[in-house]
Amino acid sequence: MTQTRAIIFETPGGPEVLKLVTREVGAPGPGELRIRHHACGLNYIDIYQRSGVYPMPLPQVPGMEGAGVVEAVGEGVTHLAVGDRVAYAAAPPGAYCDVRVMHAAQVCRLPDSIDFRTAAAMMLQGLTVQYLFHRTVPLKSGDTVLFHAAAGGVGLIACQWARAMGIRLIGTAGTDEKCALARAHGAAETINYEREDFVSRVRDLTEGRGVDVVMDSIGAATFDRSLDCLRPVGMMISFGNASGKVPPFDLSILGAKGSLQLTRPTLFTHIARHEDCQAMAAQLFGMVETGKVAIRIGQEFALADVAEAHRRMEARATTGSTILLP
């Protein structure tokens, strides 16, 4: 048996419920592998799970993203071998640890040109941008997108991806500094939602037409007004709820506001099939290797300091990606 340090929580709650323990890790079973992490990613979904917004079986090791080296493979695993450098974003949780056994299907071989820290910072967020731009509603050059939280980890990748595709991305953020960061990464325009009404500003920027697509991970605080930013038959993509879940609403509102479209996707639906996950990761790796997308790591924390990492993320005191170092 192999020993690992892991972060667990035994009851939903604040960052204080996270604690460091030592446990044993066995050999991988059929379709599984054992990975030794060099870095792990921290994402807002971890906070949803820890706080109870997304109920989880308990006790639970959080974390959906990591990068490291394969130590062992189980029967039937053919796309990876012992010693391979790998990275993943995958369910179920369990990444906040030194070593874990997990399903192999969503684990991807990492190109030599991408280091472990970068990989751990980009898999969940980069694959999210991939499905938003290419699978949820295929975007094309000349389209206009309103992207909330444009200075976050997903947002900074989206700004760059949009620039590479010739998409006009209008980003929102809560400070002038975050707005400047989004513009530096490719946002065509930015809106400080603490000082400006983003609906009026979007209408000004689009000469009254509205945007083709809104991509909103904020949730309750921005949902209703985001609908007012869309052109007729535009698409609202609600892919997160950092400010709380969107409450139930009357679907006829979509018709009244211009036959709007609405979807609530998740990454884990899009990567559920092995072939889809590997193809999506290959496109993400290509964007990073060619320099079209640079991954900005805004914060690094030791695994044992994960509670502080959660506090800062919940306080919106982070920019770019956040990683944990075992």
CATH code of residue 178: 3.40.50.720
Residue 207 is part of which domain span? 141-264
* pLDDT in single tens digits along all 326 residues of the chain: 799 999 999 999 999 999 999 999 999 999 999 999 999 999 989 999 999 989 999 999 999 999 999 999 999 999 999 999 999 999 999 999 999 999 999 999 999 999 999 999 999 999 999 999 999 998 999 999 999 999 999 999 999 999 999 999 999 999 999 999 999 999 999 999 999 999 999 999 999 999 999 999 999 999 999 999 999 999 999 999 888 889 999 999 999 999 999 999 999 999 999 999 999 999 999 999 999 999 999 999 999 999 999 999 999 888 889 999 99
Residue 136 falls inside a structural domain: no
Number of domains in the chain: 2
Residue 164 lies in a domain: yes
71 found inside a domain? yes
Element (H, E) at 182: helix 176-184
* Contact yes or no for 254/262 (Cβ under 8 A): yes
Q: Cβ atoms within 10 A of the Cβ of 20, count?
A: 15
Q: For strands 85-89 and 65-73, give the pairing.
A: antiparallel
pTM of the model: 0.94
| CATH code of 292's domain | 3.90.180.10
One domain for residues 151 and 245: yes
